[in-house]
Each structure stands twice: as C-alpha cells, then as structure tokens.
Amino acid sequence: MNGTRLIKTDLTALRNASRGCDKAAEEIYHKYADFISTSVWRIVRDNEETRDVTQKTFIIAFQKLPSLKDLQAFPAWLKRIGVNQALVSLRKKQIKVASALDEENHLDKFSDGDSEPLKELKQKEMEKLIKDSVSELPIEFQEIFVLAVFEKIPYQKIAALHNISLSLVKLRVHRSRLLLRDKLEKYLKED
C-alpha cells in the first residue's frame, strides 16, 4: 500500500468522507483497516489493543481529514497516526505493567534457577526491557526507530513522512541503536 498512488475512487471517497459522508468513511475504513492493524500490531503485539488503536486511528483521521491538503499522502498520513497511537498505547500499557510488578514480586515463586518458568520469566523481562528502552528514547528517535526497524519502512519514505533529510533519519536510527545497546548491555551485565 505504501508508495502507490491513490486511484480516482479512493480520492472521491476521501473527499466525501472529509465532508462527513458516513458511507465513504466506511469504505475508506474497510480498505485501510488491515493496513493500519498490521502496523499497529507490530508495535503493541496484542490483538484486542490492536483493534482499539486501529479504531482510534480512524476516528482521529476522519476528524482531521478536512485539514489534509494532499489526499495522495493519505496512506502515509494514516499510518503515521496509527504508529503514534500505538506508541501512546504502549507507553500506557508499560506504566500499568510496571506498577503491577512493583506491587507483587513474581520471582519468589521459583526456586530452581534452571526452571522453565524462570526462563520464560527472563524472556518476558527482556522483551519488556526492550520495549521500555525503546519508549525511553527521545520521541523523535523513537518514531524513526520504530518505523525503520519494526515497520521496515525504507529510510527515504521515513524522511519524506517526517519532512527531514535522509542523513538525519540514518543518524537517528544509528543513535537509537547505540542508546539501546548501552542500556541492554548494562542489564545483561547485571545478570
């Protein structure tokens, strides 16, 4: 869907949706829902949360659609809204998980250092650490990193989407990797 020009029927549906036509909005939703859901799921990794974030993405998009000047940019614009909403959702979820872990220490349940539950817990802990580390990156690094690494969007498209130079995209991805490596190395040394 990225990089393709919108066909005339899509442009007509977008124009009608921006004027409040529910049928046109529904048509746009059905055409792009899977596209957005896939991107959102790659970030939140939860089916129910993906549905909620996808719905919120379209609500925001339809509210702001009249302000979109270039309808050809709709797919990239919509994806950016979806990615941003997924990141917001992920941050909220991480805060809830962190407070739940503070209230109850699950490590006391396992006595054998080589047990499967402990290995599984360590794996989940590492996944959480990676997500937390990404969420602690500066927001301008975070968005670019998620798009480049998790979404596998080409650097040129990210540069165009964010209206920045290609070299700045490369720099932010590189710095993000360095920051994440440092944080993860500290964690691994503690084990």
Residue ranges of domains in the chain: 1-104, 110-191
Closest listed residue to residue 177, CA positions, set 156, 154, 150: 150
Confidence of residue 182 (pLDDT cuts 50, 70, 90): confident
Note the pTM of the prediction, 2 decimals: 0.55
Question: pLDDT for 21-61, tens place per residue?
Answer: 999 999 999 999 999 999 898 888 889 999 999 999 999 99
Lowest mean pLDDT among 70-79, 105-114, 130-139, 157-166: 105-114
**Confidence grade of residue 181 (pLDDT, cut at 50, 70, 90):** confident
Domain boundaries 1-104, corresponding CATH code: 1.10.1740.10
Q: Could you give the residue ranges of the DSSP H alpha helices within 20-165? A: 22-44, 47-64, 74-103, 116-136, 139-145, 155-162
d(CA 112, CA 97): 25
Across residues 144-154, what is the average pLDDT?
Answer: 83
pLDDT digits (tens, 9 = 90+) for 62-119: 999 999 999 999 999 999 999 989 888 877 766 555 544 444 444 444 444 555 776 7
Over range 148-161, report the average pLDDT. Answer: 84
CATH topology classification for 110-191:
Arc Repressor Mutant, subunit A (1.10.10)
Residue 50 pLDDT: 93
The pLDDT of residue 16 is 93
Q: Which long-range contacts (CB under 8 A, 24 or more apart) does 81-85 make?
A: 81/57, 82/36, 82/39, 82/40, 82/53, 82/54, 82/57, 83/39, 83/40, 83/43, 83/143, 83/146, 83/147, 83/151, 84/143, 85/40, 85/53, 85/56, 85/57, 85/60
